[in-house]
């Protein structure tokens, strides 16, 4: 059984930082691509960042480039999202997802991800 458990969300002032964690079980982050998506009120679940199964390639949505960093700890089977210089428009529920295909490519398309965590709320005040 595949499970993803996110943590690390919270309330932070604009300009602050948070680090989200996504602990995986049932699949290893070294064989499946992983991604972070977010859903703001009234919006769809939108792509934020992804990392390929090899860990050497990352992708970011344009508005978070230079501020967010996706990484992983293979020993802990955990993926992280370091978020710096946070803005009020980053307020959303953040979800991590794990890819459908073993050794498949990372993607910005949420349909490429099979399992999701429960989400963690990030609120950025102005």
- Tokens encoding 124: 């950025």
CA atoms within a 13 Å half-sphere pointing along the CA-CB vector of 82? 7
Confidence of residue 112 (pLDDT cuts 50, 70, 90): very high
For a pLDDT cut of 70, what percent of the chain falls above it? 100
List, for residues 64-101, the tens digit of each pLDDT value.
999 999 999 999 999 999 999 999 999 999 999 999 99
List, for residues 23-55, the tens digit of each pLDDT value.
999 999 999 999 999 999 999 999 999 999 999
Q: What is the pLDDT of residue 59?
A: 97
- Identify whether the C-beta of residue 31 lies closer than 8 Å to the C-beta of residue 98: no
What b-and-e string marks burial along 70-91, b requiring 16 or more CB atoms within 10 Å of the CB? bebeeeebbbbbebeebeeebb
Which is nearest to 99 in space by CA: 43, 66, 42, 59?
A: 59
CA 44/CA 48 separation, integer angstroms: 12
Confidence of residue 57 (pLDDT cuts 50, 70, 90): very high
Helix (H) or strand (E) holding 94: strand 92-99
Q: What is the pLDDT of residue 105?
A: 92
Backbone angles phi, psi at 109, to 5 degrees: -95, 120
For a pLDDT cut of 90, what percent of the chain falls above it? 97
- Cα Dmax for the chain: 41
């Amino acid at each position: 059984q595949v499970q993803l458990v996110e943590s690390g969300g919270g309330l932070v002032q604009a300009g602050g930082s948070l680090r989200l964690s996504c602990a995986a079980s049932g699949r290893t982050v070294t064989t499946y691509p992983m991604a972070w998506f977010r859903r703001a009120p009234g919006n769809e679940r939108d792509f934020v960042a992804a990392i390929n199964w090899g860990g050497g390639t990352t992708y970011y949505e344009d508005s978070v480039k230079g501020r967010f960093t996706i990484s992983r700890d293979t020993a802990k089977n955990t993926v992280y999202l370091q978020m710096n210089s946070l803005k009020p428009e980053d307020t959303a529920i953040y979800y991590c997802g794990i890819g459908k295909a073993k050794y498949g490519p990372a993607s910005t398309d949420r349909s490429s991800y099979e399992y999701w965590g429960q989400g963690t709320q990030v609120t950025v005040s102005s």
